[in-house]
Chains A and B, each alone.
Chain A
Amino acid sequence: RGLLTRLNTPICIVCYLAAIVWFMGLAFEPFTLRTDMSENAMGSTMVLLRGASAVPRQGVRSSQKTGAVSTWLVKAMQSRGLEVFTQSFSRKLPFPDENKERYMVRGTNVYGILRAPRAPRTEALVISAPCSPGDSNNQAVGLLLALAQYFRNQVYWAKDIIFLVNEHDLMGTQAWLEAYHHTNITGMEYSPLQGRGGSIQAALSLELSSDVITSLDLILDGLNGQLPNLDLANLFYAFCQKLGVLCTIQGKLQRNDWDTAEGYTHAAQTMMLMVLKQACGRSWGDHGLFLRYHIEAASVRGINSFRHYKTDAATIGRLLEGMVRKLNNLLERLHQSYFFYLLPSLSRFVSIGCYMPAFGLLVVILLLRALDLWVHLGAPALAAVEGVTEAQQPSGPAVLTVLTPVVISHLTGVALYLLPVHLQEMAVEHFPVSETEAVVLTAVAIYTTGLALPHNTQRLLSGEGTEQGWKVLKLTALLYLAVLLGCTALINFSLGFVLAVTLVPITASMTPHMPKALSALVMVLLSPAFTILYCVFIYQELIEAPVSVSEGWMLFLSVISQGILDHALYGSLVYPLLALFIYPCWLMFWNILFWS
């Protein structure tokens, strides 16, 4: 015990550094594991792939011009021998989405079910392609129809295959999934589904952004940082290898020179990108919404990166055919491989057992500091054992001094969570801004106001804070933060880790006795909002599209609005987590800084 209190600070510093080094070491190839197919039913890739060749994308285009995509799709699917159904949905967004320019959303999903012969409609696979007005994804819809035609003539299907063409990308998927499972989490209005195929075992989403495809990108990150089973990634990788298709993850090709500095940096960048994407908790493709329903899903995105190497639609068709046939062979749901992993490249992965220690080292710092404080708090109490009445007497105010900042911080958090969306009309009336700007700026304003609130109220309440008061508060706050981060990391490791990296140093070292101005500046710079800002910049840097400060700021604002929208539309939990828990917790430390 003596050792821990005496060497507390050095141990904490060592832990922090070790955590960072450990984390960065995860991308180093010798420390990672090679991916291999764990599911026996998908073992060999020795299937004869014939593929579909004729891709009817002209039809999609012409129907888009006349504006009757859904009726055309119904006809096209029917003529391919599918059972076709449509579903209409509508949703009014809480505030206009400026990135995608939508507010009142009204759309129609078209899906066709290929019934497997001699199967009792208990299992299904989904292949989906988002189809939005414009030229963006009609290649994928065409490929989907070609696949449907080809699949219809095959006899080996054991599971029903559902071909879904969803409008308004994620919103269509959300409406369809909610109707399929008869739930309503987000207040979407939709018509019920007429045809079903039993429990969905796996789903693939297809996005082909241009006619010329040079490589395929696999997207795994789903809502709230959920990931599909690693076997799905392995499957994709195996077929890319077999067919000689360039495949990427996070848009990064794989390199073989792990022993060089560039090789390592490349892997580290890929992994960092995955961490950042996962941390933001949004669904990066249509597949992300399937994961909630225990359906393993991934998006395959065709990318034109202007290389010489080109992949034609038939090859992509063969790739999908192979994957679907493998999934069709599944006897059980995908469960053999990992659900928690990070991918420095498609062929290497870091399992949960490897990356958790990095996070553990960070949380240990919080616990060590809490232990230290506990010992310090206990020492004077031991000295004052004889005066029991004296010890009891100040306990009342102490509880109050701790409780007040906790309650006030959380009320600020609740305000940050509720007010931006509800006050938008008022804000639009009084300020010359659009609804979206109103929401975001209200959020920023409440966030900033929160900085002024706690210490003022605290001063108002008890005049002068005692030494013991802030220690108890800090002890509470440290334990609270440790529990919060721990729970977050169990669900979404990346989010927990990113928050821990920025929050742990200031929270561990914060005392009221430090130089006010400097530490206040540091504290603000390491606050959750600035963490988001840094993430935006780092992300832009990693995808090789660096932005200036002003652009970064605009991006930051749009990220906030997207976060709020994701929460409202799809039930993403990052915004409520930050607003209701992390931010109040940070405010408690802010309160400690201005204690006296």
Chain B
Amino acid sequence: MAAHRCGLSLVFILIFSSLACHSSCDSLENANEDTEEKQSVSDTPREVNSDGSIAAEDLNERRGRSTDAELDRRDGTRTSEALTPAAAARDEFQEELVIRPLHSGDIYASFQFRTLWDTDFLQEGQKVSHYRLFPKSLGQVLSKFSVRELHISFTQGFWRTMQWGQPFIPSPPGAELWVWFHDTVSDVDGNWKELTNVLSGIFCASLNFIDLTNTVQPSASFKPLGLGNATDHRFLRYATLPREIVCTENLTPWKKLLPCGSKAGLAVLLKSEKLFHSSFHSQAVHIRPVCQDEQCTSKAWELRQTLNVVFDLYTAGQGKKEWSLFKMFSRTLTEACPLATSSKVYVDITDNPEGELFELSPATPLLSQAVVLGDRRTYSVFDLTRAETFGQLRSLNLLLRWKGDGGEMLRPLLHAERYVAGFGLQTGEIHTVIYNNHPYRAFPVLLMDSVPWYLQLYIHTLTVTSKSRDNKPSYIHYQPAKDRHRPHLLEMLIQLPPHSMTEVTVQFERALLKWTEYTPDPNHGFYVGSSVVSALVPSMVAMNTNFTQDQPLFSSFVPVKEESSYFVRVYTEPLLVNLPTPDFSMPYNVICLTCTVVAVGYGSFYNLLTRTFQVDEPSLPLAKRLANLIRRIRGVPLLT
């Protein structure tokens, strides 16, 4: 028991530290940091080049604000009550696009749209009826279901960590939805059920298939990313639909949530015919409460819409190793969204300091540095709010010409994969392999597995091995499944030794379903959602303690706390498991035949029975009809 408690506290520490990072980031209204959300670190951007004074001032101010906000929160001084609700609404909208040429030669485009809604409807007596930039459909959902935080993602494809590195915002294949409800909600399951149905309508997705059989309440893996430190996981619901297919019908409603729609700004690039001609497509909506100002006197709601696409060099390149905005999206940029306070395009040129890997045109003098995912990255910045960005042609068409030849596998610090072992249709074994490729640091990871009830896990066969030695998890939370009611939930805190491969195996038995429970295509197999690995990974920047090229010596002796590790969530691939399936062909034929016979027979019979061939007679008076009724009972000839 003590061990468990210890484990729990460790988990909370882990979560808190990540939380602190997040909240500090929240108050920054700089787009730089917005590139990443869940894994964000409190980064202090440095405008390396030119545009001197403004950037420097800006920087100072931001620094001040971020530390203030952080201090505020730690002290717990909540002065939001004092805020007058009549304060002018300061809704804001920011948009940004990050283009990152990937190691493999593919190209990664990540859109982020951030809408701030300056209101706090969870407070007593607040009734919201006025919407400016924030979409009304979502606002109403938030207030009706008392949602504290909502994260929903639709992903088509699997992020190839070994080739592409870490994504800015990870998401599992299919649909993922996790929601923190406000702690005033009494019937969480009821709210959840209704919420999924409503969201299903909003996003034109099959979210209504989320029910209790695929919903879990993770105890440690998913913590609120916004304000407030709720830890009672009774108010959390998490579900994935690994089979969900994402297509244009999901994109359109997503685009409609933007203040400018797809009419202006970066959103003009979001053309479905190109976005779905890619290797990876992921769109997400994240809603969370954030601080409105430096003192965090009032709460605001932040809506982040993100869209990540990876374009394939081989299939779309047609032999030419060349990328441009036009090639990727079949559009060029001509203006920023008029409602946006900031609208920027970033191109990651870290791997390309001398221009040996690719050539970027038009060149921009604006550079920006940020620590993203534990790595110091340099970006070229194109500010769409300035007229000179668009040049003579009044349109911005970024062009990337590849020179180098990628293709080598990467070794990301944290990497996980999963597969089903064994053969036959009776038993099997789920293997989850987690790699720690850090040369000398061990770090803990939280592994969360949610397995449907029809794979009956043998939890006594659970083994965790690293370097062919037994690795005892310091915290295990296991909730067994109930047939047809609840999935298995397994959460573990595992310490990964440096430079190691950790294998988690658990055996299962495949259940025999009732015949009505099979899907229409039972031989396709049944999906098991991705397992989630959450970790604070030691940062690459902190790793380079020996790296003194462009830094003063005094700055690099002790690794800075914020930069020493960063939060990462890694999703494994979903599994496709075949269950013992009866041969449905015979019943199917019987059903088809019977239906045909019944349809034909019933049709003709019904026709025969209901069609009357008599001459239309004038209706009899009521008395006569009554008399006829009596006569019919008596068996006497009827009156006419």
**A residues with CB within 8 A of B:** 78-79, 81, 83, 115, 117-123, 152-155, 181-183, 195-196, 198-199, 292-294, 331-333, 335-336
Contacts and interface: CB of A to CB of B under 8 A. Distances in A.
A155 B173 contact: no
B573 A332 contact: no
Across the A-B interface, give the 7 residue pairs with the lowest CB-CB distance, nearest first.
A120-B173, A182-B421, A332-B523, A118-B157, A122-B576, A121-B573, A332-B524
B45 interface: no
A331 B422 CA distance: 23
A296 to B, nearest CB: 11
B431 A182 contact: yes
Question: Is chain A's interface secondary structure helix, strand, loop, or mixed overall?
Answer: loop
A118 B314 contact: no
A199 B576 CA distance: 7
A78 B163 CA distance: 12
Given A81-B314, A182-B429, A117 B421 contact: no
B160 A115 contact: yes
Contacts of A336: 585
Contact of B315 (A154, A183, A199): A154
25 contacts: A79-B407, A83-B409, A117-B157, A117-B315, A118-B278, A118-B279, A119-B158, A120-B173, A120-B242, A120-B574, A122-B525, A122-B573, A122-B574, A152-B314, A152-B315, A182-B419, A182-B431, A198-B573, A199-B525, A199-B575, A294-B425, A332-B523, A333-B523, A333-B524, A333-B578
Contacts of B407: 78-79, 81
Contacts, number: 94
Interface string B517-539: 00001111101000000000000
Contacts of B575: 122, 198-199
B440 interface: no
Contacts of B242: 120
A524 to B, nearest CB: 40
Nearest to A79: B407
Contacts of B314: 81, 152-153
A292 B423 CA distance: 8
Contacts of A292: 423
Contact of B523 (A121, A123, A335): A335
B578 A294 contact: yes
Contacts of A152: 314-315
Contact of B422 (A154, A183, A195): A183
A331 B576 contact: no
Given A182-B421, A331-B521, 9 more contacts: A78-B407, A121-B573, A122-B573, A153-B315, A181-B423, A182-B419, A183-B423, A199-B420, A293-B423
A540 to B, nearest CB: 35
Interface in B407-449: 407, 409, 417, 419-425, 429, 431
Nearest to B424: A294
- In this complex, the interface size class of chain B, counting residues with CB under 8 Å from chain A, is 35 or more
A440 to B, nearest CB: 31
Nearest to B313: A81
B174 interface: yes
B286 interface: no
Nearest to A292: B423
B312 A117 contact: yes
B478 interface: no
B281 interface: yes
Contacts of B422: 181-183
Contact of B276 (A118, A123, A333): A118
A97 to B, nearest CB: 26
A99 to B, nearest CB: 28
A231 B137 CA distance: 50
A292 B425 CA distance: 11
Contacts of B425: 294
Contact of B421 (A183, A198, A294): A183
B162 A122 contact: no
B174 A120 contact: yes
B158 A181 contact: no
B277 interface: yes
B280 interface: yes
B283 interface: no
Contacts of A294: 423-425, 578
Interface in B283-322: 312-315
B223 to A, nearest CB: 26
Interface string B579-591: 0000001000000
Nearest to A333: B523
A14 B162 CA distance: 68
A336 B523 CA distance: 10
Contacts of B523: 332-333, 335
A196 B429 contact: no
B576 to A, nearest CB: 4
A220 to B, nearest CB: 20
B156 interface: yes
Candidate in B314, B578, B585 with the most chain A CB atoms within 10 angstroms: B314
Contact of A199 (B157, B174, B578): B578
Nearest to B157: A118
B283 to A, nearest CB: 13
Contacts of A181: 421-423
Candidate in B158, B280, B421 with the most chain A CB atoms within 10 angstroms: B158
Nearest to B247: A118
B313 to A, nearest CB: 8
Nearest to A122: B576
A119 B242 CA distance: 11
A120 B423 CA distance: 21
Nearest to B162: A83
A333 B162 CA distance: 29
Contacts of B421: 181-183
Nearest to B279: A117
Contacts of B281: 118
Contacts of A332: 521-524
Contacts of B157: 117-120
A79 to B, nearest CB: 8
B556 to A, nearest CB: 35
A182 B585 CA distance: 33
Nearest to B420: A199
Nearest to B316: A155
Given A154-B315, A196-B417, A198-B573, A120 B524 contact: no
Interface in B197-213: none
A10 to B, nearest CB: 39
Contact of A331 (B162, B419, B423, B524): B524
A152 B163 CA distance: 16
A182 B419 CA distance: 9
B390 to A, nearest CB: 32
A7 to B, nearest CB: 38
A118 B93 CA distance: 30
Candidate in B423, B429, B522 with the most chain A CB atoms within 10 angstroms: B423
Candidate in B157, B162, B522, B574 with the most chain A CB atoms within 10 angstroms: B157
A206 to B, nearest CB: 23
Given A183-B422, A199-B420, A331-B521, A118 B280 contact: yes
A338 to B, nearest CB: 11
Contacts of B162: 83, 195
A431 to B, nearest CB: 41
A92 B411 CA distance: 34
A83 B574 contact: no
A353 B312 CA distance: 50
Candidate in B278, B417, B573 with the most chain A CB atoms within 10 angstroms: B573
Nearest to A80: B314
B246 to A, nearest CB: 8
A375 to B, nearest CB: 39
Nearest to A196: B419
B315 A155 contact: yes
Contacts of A183: 421-423
A293 B425 CA distance: 10
A122 B281 CA distance: 17
A154 B318 CA distance: 10
B533 to A, nearest CB: 16
